Chains A and B, each alone.
Chain A
Amino acid sequence: MTKALDSKKLGLFIACGIALCVLPFVVGGALGNSWVRIVDFALLYVMLALGLNIVVGFAGLLDLGFIAFYAVGAYTYALLSSPHFGIHWPFYVTIPLGALFAAFFGVLLGTPVLRLKGDYLAIVTLGFGEIVRIFMNNLNAPINITNGPQGINLIDPIHVAGVDLGTPISLFGLNLPPVYLYYYLFLALTVLVVIMASRLQHSRIGRAWVALREDQVAASAMGINIRNIKLLAFALGALSGGVAGGLFSAFQGFVSPESFSLLESIMILAMIVLGGMGNIAGVILGAVVLTIAPEILRDVIGPLQMKTMGRMLIDPENARMLLFGIAMVVMMLVRPEGMLPSKRRKAEFKDAKDAAAQKG
């Protein structure tokens, strides 16, 4: 894997960069600003999926409670930048703080489950996610910390260098609404997370994770400190989750426990599985597809039913989830390695198939 930046690659890279820079204007111009908002969310999900991919894709630790870290990041920002406690700290304090706090939670979760593997780990992490949600829902009495099910309102938008991202600004005669401004901020941080994930993958740590995923006993025998790299995977995954959470909180201006349900965790896992576990490009693709596709469906399902049936048989939300569930099953049966499989994983699936063929 030499990383020679030949001219062709460089050209592609610059073209992608320019495309991403003008994307909001294209989308906003063609489809309206509500779609730019969806693109912003897609970026948040890319961050989340990359974070979870470190835990699941690289280290092979199945985590079904990942949304808890997102929640920790979001609530940290919300509590430190809202009238709820009357604290208004700047984002360059609160977002890193939220990320660190999430990473701490990652270690907190990781420590007791060091011995667990597979399905057991999945269930315990799921339980952890639910515990966090139950606490958020109920910590409004006797001391009001999280404001319970009502959630926290009037969260400050992010101010970068004196510019308030929550109000439209004009730049060189271009009118930039908040969704555009946040887009650039999210893009910058997403790029950071992508760089972090890809550097990690090719580092000693990334190799240690792969070894851990493939065979824990052998990895341990080769001198890899299993405990440390497991905790590191949980912490780093949670870190990106926490960053995304803080951004989400500022972007929405409102958080409540409802945004952090188990279904969200499952969605993020599905993004990874659908895109191709352990492959960064695949994970990004999966996150974008699973964020955008449901929105397109939402626009299509209703009118389509009206046209063909003359009335609404299935409400769009219901149809959307139904298709999602079916797609998950079909995807696993047809292409378990995902849309863009990582080389190593593809080989694994092939081995498994051969073994199964021999068995059956």
Chain B
Amino acid sequence: MDIFIQQILNGLVLGSIYALIALGYTMVYGIMGLINFAHGEVVMFGAMVCITVVSTLTHSGVDLPGWAIVLIGTLVAIPACALLGFVIERVAYRPLRGAQRLAPLITAIGLSITLQQVAILIWGRNYIPFPDLLNSDTVSIMGASITKLQVMIVVLCVVLMTGLLVMVEKTKLGRAMRATSQNPTVAGLMGVNVNTIISATFMLGSGLGAIAGVMVATNYSQAHYYMGFMIGLKAFTAAVLGGIGNLGGAVAGGILLGIIESLGAGYIGQLTGGFLGSNYQDIFAFMVLILVLIFRPSGLLGEKMADRA
């Protein structure tokens, strides 16, 4: 039973991060109807930029508490990634608006590769350790242990997600986003500057991605130029699971996927009589994705444009 609670907690931490990244996918999809394949690389950049800032600060002997340094790193990473998102949209997606479906997908893949290579240029091919600044005390919950950092991650994710949902529902920008996602042409006629809204969406999603990247890097205490690929893929799965284009769905899908993955990795050995081990963890996300798309292509909570699947 202890292992069960432990895996649920691990899943919750993992799932919150997935959810945060899934929001980026889902927002862009809701507004433009395309999957931003380069989003995983944005997450990776967030982690890398934060690590660079944090390492520089600690090496130059800045006398601040650990969390403050990480916070500074994150606050540098957010605008950097927002800018990256802005550039990605300008270069790879905007010129192809109205082109056939395959073109944006290919440019996105090309961009992914380019960004990975740029990361190799800047940071090299090896794993980069995250400086050990945050306290790793554990809290015990019902016989399972979770670090304070992980509690922090979950809380922060909840705050950010709530903030985003409120923003989309209540603010003028949010309303413009919703209008654009329903019908860009009409929104344009009503005085919404569609291009600005699309740029803003990319920047918002990328900013959230940056925070998620920092969380991944602190949680595993390392980052790598290839880390964006797998986590991006899983976050996308989470978005599909909840119903792509649906913000609440992305959150639900992320948490659910994280828990499925943790439980799966924890129990697969028992289920298959030792034939498959926890090294098959990455398979669950794909299995879930395939099953969801077969049985409920519009996701658990329904997508906005179900005519596409």
Docked complex: B222-280 residues within 8 A CB-CB of A:
229, 233, 236-237, 240, 274-277, 279-280
Q: Are A122 and B99 in contact (CB under 8 A)?
A: no
- Min CB gap A227→B, angstroms: 14
Question: Which A residues are CB-close (under 8 A) to B297?
Answer: 115-116, 120
* A326 CA / B282 CA spacing, docked (Å): 29
- Min CB gap A180→B, angstroms: 34
Q: Are B290 and A112 in contact (CB under 8 A)?
A: yes
Question: Which A residues are CB-close (under 8 A) to B91?
Answer: 329
- The yes or no answer to B286 lying at the interface (CB within 8 A) is yes
* A223 CA / B130 CA spacing, docked (Å): 60
Binary flags per residue of B99-110, CB closer than 8 Å to A gives 1, else 0: 111110111011
Question: Which B residues are CB-close (under 8 A) to A118?
Answer: 101, 308
Q: Are B99 and A353 in contact (CB under 8 A)?
A: yes
* A292 CA / B192 CA spacing, docked (Å): 49
Number of A-B contacts (CB under 8 A): 141
Identify the closest chain B residue to A137 (Cβ).
B279
Do A127 and B111 contact each other (CB < 8 Å), given the known contacts A134-B280, A332-B96, A348-B100?
no
- Min CB gap A22→B, angstroms: 36
Question: Which B residues are CB-close (under 8 A) to A112?
Answer: 290, 293-294
* A126 CA / B237 CA spacing, docked (Å): 12
Identify the closest chain B residue to A130 (Cβ).
B286
Q: Are B113 and A266 in contact (CB under 8 A)?
A: yes
* A332 CA / B97 CA spacing, docked (Å): 12
Question: Which A residues are CB-close (under 8 A) to B285?
Answer: 127
- The yes or no answer to B117 lying at the interface (CB within 8 A) is yes
Q: Are A333 and B95 in contact (CB under 8 A)?
A: yes
* A213 CA / B105 CA spacing, docked (Å): 17
Question: Which B residues are CB-close (under 8 A) to A141?
Answer: 277
- Min CB gap A112→B, angstroms: 5
- The yes or no answer to B72 lying at the interface (CB within 8 A) is no
8 Å CB contact of A117 from B111, B277, B283, B308? B308
Do A126 and B113 contact each other (CB < 8 Å), given the known contacts A119-B35, A120-B293?
no
Q: Are A113 and B293 in contact (CB under 8 A)?
A: yes
- The yes or no answer to B159 lying at the interface (CB within 8 A) is no
Do A328 and B110 contact each other (CB < 8 Å), given the known contacts A321-B117, A322-B121?
yes
8 Å CB contact of B110 from A115, A325, A336? A325
* A314 CA / B117 CA spacing, docked (Å): 10
Question: What are 16 sample pairs from A and B whose C-beta atoms fall under 8 A apart?
Answer: A113-B290, A115-B294, A115-B297, A116-B309, A117-B308, A119-B101, A124-B289, A127-B286, A270-B109, A318-B117, A321-B116, A322-B118, A325-B114, A327-B110, A328-B109, A333-B107
Given A135-B283, A262-B229, output 4 extra A-B contacts at Cβ < 8 Å: A134-B283, A321-B116, A325-B110, A355-B98
